[in-house]
A = this chain, B = another copy of it.
Amino acid sequence: MISHTPPDPHFETRVRASFARQKVMGTIGARLSSVLPGEVTIELPVQESLTQQHGFVHAGIVTTIVDSACGYAAFSLMPADAAVLTVEYKVNFLSPAVGDVLIARGRVTKAGRTLTICSGDVFAVAEGREKLIATMLATIMTIRERMGLEG
């Protein structure tokens, strides 16, 4: 594991405040669990309202939580006055998203001045056991001029 030192000591407060402004997280029922320097975990209880035609959680919803986990992992290492935007990502889906809860873990692979590269994994928990169901490789951008963006 790579160890990161966040330039902003209040990184956790900043990440939690930004997550609280992501209204979509309330809509789908996702919760921010842990916020560490360069590593963020989001949990999503599986619900029928989020499923695709086979009854699995839709790939796009799986992507939603792991994108935010990666984005906030990057954001945790940014200066206090920066904003974060997702440039692009790729996701591979390994197994159906079924179970009790999905856990998305995002981690910073390399934090650059402008671009941060993150990897993310999503696990489905059923009967207390975790199974890897999706994996992401993402490019996240630090926006310094802010352009009116907050967080």
Contacts and interface: CB of A to CB of B under 8 A. Distances in A.
Interface in A92-151: 92-95, 109-110, 112, 114-115, 117, 119, 132, 135, 137, 139, 141, 149-151
Contacts of A151: 53-54
Contacts of A48: 23
Given A48-B23, A86-B93, A135 B117 contact: yes
B83 A88 contact: no
A22 B58 contact: yes
A59 interface: yes
Contact of A49 (B23, B59, B68, B85): B23
Given A88-B139, A92-B139, A50 B65 contact: no
Nearest to A85: B93
A61 interface: yes
B53 A22 contact: yes
6 contacts: A22-B51, A24-B61, A27-B28, A58-B67, A88-B91, A115-B141
A21 interface: yes
